[in-house]
Amino acid sequence: MQGAGVDRDGVAVVVGASGGIGAALADQVRARGRFRAVIGLSRPGLDLTDEGSIARAAQRVADAGTPTLVIVATGLLHGPGVEPEKALRALDPAAMTTAFAVNAIGPALILKHFAPLLPKDRRAVFAVLSAKVGSVSDNRLGGWHSYRASKAALNQIVRTAAVELCRSHPQAVCAAFHPGTVATRLSERFAKTGLQVLEPAEAATALLDAIGRLTPDDSGGFLDRFGAPIPW
């Protein structure tokens, strides 16, 4: 990664490596050749709704080496029984539970099991893909209640984890990123005409460059793909 140097002793981990942007991130991390190994995790080996599978995946990573880069590239906007709501009358408790399970609770459990594996004596980055629609102050359109709220919850989890992590891992960075609107299955139905839609490789390049520039002062931040702050 640009600015991060080469970590031949470290392992990079991409959670959600079977998705569009996750696959692009894993491919580019491998191509940049900065790490001893790059491990891609996705279902069925790791299920965000199954803590046991997350713990087992963390053990597999620990057996492979010390992770110095963990990227969580997961998210749920729509799927079986889940659609972005246009109005309050569309709220469904089961769909909301699923959104929070994937978008907030799952990444929190990855932090629980993977953050302790980060080295305490050198730089490490834990990056989570969030979404700009999770910004409370930027919300002027309404709608998408479950997705917005679950991403806002994710941002708070990242912020809180960063406070704790800095005490035990002073050189670590824990941050949330908005990758932009990327041409993936998550966004293809909702990309508006005139909106800049990025190819996964383009978004991955910008994200990895921004991750490479992070310092401990950036920990707990909510950033765009270039590393610029997004309002909470």
- Residue in this structure with the two tokens 């990123």, named with its chain if needed: 177
Q: Is the pLDDT of residue 194 over 60?
A: no
Q: Bridge partners of 213?
A: none
Q: Would you say 39 and 61 are in contact if contact means Cβ atoms under 8 Å apart?
A: yes
- Residue in this structure with the two tokens 């491919």, named with its chain if needed: 27
Task: Determine which of 47-51, 99-103, 107-111, 190-194 has the lowest per-residue pLDDT on average.
Answer: 190-194
Alpha carbon distance 142, 145 (integer Å): 7
**Averaged pLDDT, 159-175:** 98
pLDDT at 2: 46
Q: How confident is the model at residue 152 (pLDDT cuts 50, 70, 90)?
A: very high
CA distances from 201 to 27, 49, 181 (A): 9, 27, 12
Task: Read off the pLDDT of residues 22-81 as tens digits, 9 standing for 90 and up.
Answer: 999 999 999 999 999 999 999 999 999 999 999 999 999 999 999 999 999 999 999 999
7-224 — its CATH code? 3.40.50.720
HSE, side-chain direction, 13 A CA sphere, residue 183: 8
Q: Would you say 152 and 134 are in contact if contact means Cβ atoms under 8 Å apart?
A: yes
Task: Read off the pLDDT of residues 2-34 as tens digits, 9 standing for 90 and up.
Answer: 445 567 789 999 999 999 999 999 999 999 999
pLDDT at 188: 60
The residues spanned by each domain of the chain are 7-224
Is the bond preceding residue 44 a cis peptide, omega within 30 degrees?
yes
